Amino acid sequence: MRAEFLGIGMTSQRTRERLAARMAELGIRNRQVLNAIRSLPRHIFVDEALASRAYEETSLPIGNGQTLSQPFVVARMTEILLEVSPRRVLEVGTGSGYQTAVLASLVEKVYSIERIATLQALARGRLWDLKLNNVTLKHGDGYAGWPEHAPFHGILVAAAPPEVPQALLQQLADGGRLVLPVGVSGGQQQLYSITRRGDTFIQQALDKVTFVPMLGGTQSSGGFR
């Protein structure tokens, strides 16, 4: 049944190699990140109708009005996070689960929170299929972080809050790093890396990006758009 795992057509190993090569051209240096992109089947994270576009440098719709970020943004955020060698990472905005899969193949343990139950269920199935069992998912509001498992060496946020959520700063381990887009929805947002040194938070502004907004609360059932 799962012909895509056999490496056929648009979804072949060669297509993935090309995407990794493109990421390197765009400036991704971390070999582990490039290897993860090379080995993970991105097409299983989107609807079958979009599978042929899964290896393009583009963002793709994943349902419920949400999008899977373009590969470069995923690679860049991961690369910045890995600079502090995190072992345990919190992700906010599981979405399709692709970014989760990238992280899970690079660090010891990933905790990931998603506010839309439907998306979370789909992501769970995909991560299961890929046998990535170092991931724990939660349906909830990422603004609260995940205090039971804090502190985290790395926190990656895949949706843009209007300002940096305080709970996430508090759940950062000493020496840990938070990577997130900040800004109002609709407009351009700024990607930041915030590194904790004791009680000091060192903030660095990175690229301009476009993410879906980080919303409060949870959504339990379907919804078509």
Site of interaction with ligand SAH (CB under 6 A):
62, 66-69, 92-93, 95-96, 98-99, 113-116, 119, 141-143, 158-159, 212, 214-216
Is 69 a catalytic site residue?
A: yes
Judged by beta carbon, residue 180 or residue 212, the one nearer ligand SAH is 212
> Minimum distance between the CB of residue 35 and ligand SAH, rounded to whole angstroms?
18
Residue located via tokens 């240096």: 29
Judged by beta carbon, residue 72 or residue 98, the one nearer ligand SAH is 98
Which residues lie closer than 8 Å to 207 by C-beta, 6 or more apart?
76, 190, 191
**Measured distance CA(149)–CA(30) in Å, rounded:** 27
Among candidate residues 12, 59, 69, 221, the one labeled active-site is 69
Judged by beta carbon, residue 69 or residue 195, the one nearer ligand SAH is 69
Structure tokens belonging to residue 222: 């379907």
Which residues lie closer than 8 Å to 203 by C-beta, 6 or more apart?
192, 193, 194
Judged by beta carbon, residue 69 or residue 171, the one nearer ligand SAH is 69
> Minimum distance between the CB of residue 205 and ligand SAH, rounded to whole angstroms?
21
Coil/strand/helix, residue 164: coil
> Minimum distance between the CB of residue 151 and ligand SAH, rounded to whole angstroms?
19
How would you classify the pairing of strands 152-157 and 135-139? Answer: unpaired
- Nearest-CB residue to ligand SAH? 95
Phi–psi pair at 89, nearest 5 degrees? -125, 140
Task: Using alpha carbons, list the distances in angstroms from residue 74 to 36, 106, 117, 225.
Answer: 11, 13, 22, 23
> Minimum distance between the CB of residue 212 and ligand SAH, rounded to whole angstroms?
5
Active site residues: 69
